[in-house]
Amino acid sequence: MTLNVYAFTCGWLTLPAALLLAGEKGSLTVPVPAYLIEHPKGRAIFDSGLHVDTQTDPNRRLGRLAAYHTVGFKPGEQIATRLEALGVAPSRIDFIINSHLHFDHCGGNEQLPNATLLIQRREWEAGHNSELIESVYYDPHDYDHGHKVKMLDGDHDVFGDGSVVCIPTHGHTPGHQSLRVRIGAGEVVMTGDACYLRRTLDNFHLPTAMYDREQMLESIRRLRALRDRGAMIITGHDPELWETIPQAPDRLAAVNPGV
């Protein structure tokens, strides 16, 4: 069986560092990642990046979040164009796996019209709860596009052979999930926002805001255990780590870079 993983940079965000690391001064410019997983049984996207409207009118698209995020997102960096550059039609994506429903992780869903959305039930329900939409910063315009939705309750084996598995990592949001992928004899775990940076993973240095602190700590412990067993951990928005990640058309290899 051949399984390929490709990493894409779908824009950049500049934001106060304290949002990612409580107490930190200054600002950070961080990547907005997305990933293509090609499996003999289908293709999946893990996180789809920013909505294309943020290229032209980020203030209108992001609303109150625009006060804290400066968007660097050029034409050609959206998920559909990234796929087309690799020779993959966006209409041929079988699954969208969103880590969670924040704007920089599901904004490109609309560009993948025929995919089934795989999302933790807790996250989908939270994204349609009027109180949580306000307090957890959801925007249904990013994810309500009529996709077929498969709601998950815990670990989910996407292709039925253990090679691509959604794993719950709640805390950042009510139903956040990460993705574990087996490449050859190794494993890669894309954490999404369960773990923003290597410092989060190494030192439990948490962000300023999170939905549930104790659940986020437990999720980081799970990710650390996977790392300690040899998995390569790709944290969600670490610009230094991202410099070491091969970008499409190069394939991602399962190596442990010491994180």
pTM of the predicted protein model:
0.96
Q: Taking all residues of the chain, what is their mean pLDDT, rounded to a whole number? A: 95
Separation of alpha carbons 35 and 25, rounded Å: 30
Q: Name the nearest CA neighbour of 208 among 6, 16, 13.
A: 16
Query: Which pLDDT value is given to residue 184?
Result: 87
Alpha-carbon torsion, ordered 245, 206, 224, 186, to 10 deg: -20
Query: Which pLDDT value is given to residue 1?
Result: 59
Separation of alpha carbons 148 and 131, rounded Å: 24
Set out the domains of the chain in order of their start, with CATH numbers.
4-242 (3.60.15.10)
Token digits of residue 106: 């599901």
pLDDT per residue as tens digits for the range 145-191: 999 999 999 999 999 999 999 999 999 999 999 999 999 889 999 99
Query: Which pLDDT value is given to residue 185?
Result: 87
Q: What is the pLDDT along the chain (259 residues), one digit of tens a residue?
A: 589 999 999 999 999 999 999 999 999 999 999 999 999 999 999 999 999 999 999 999 999 999 999 999 999 999 999 999 999 999 999 999 999 999 999 999 999 999 999 999 999 999 999 999 999 999 999 999 999 999 999 999 999 999 999 999 999 999 999 999 999 889 999 999 999 999 999 999 999 989 999 999 999 999 999 999 999 999 999 999 999 999 999 999 865 544 4
Separation of alpha carbons 247 and 58, rounded Å: 25
Query: Which pLDDT value is given to residue 257?
Result: 45
Q: Name the nearest CA neighbour of 82 among 190, 10, 142, 31.
A: 10
Separation of alpha carbons 100 and 170, rounded Å: 9
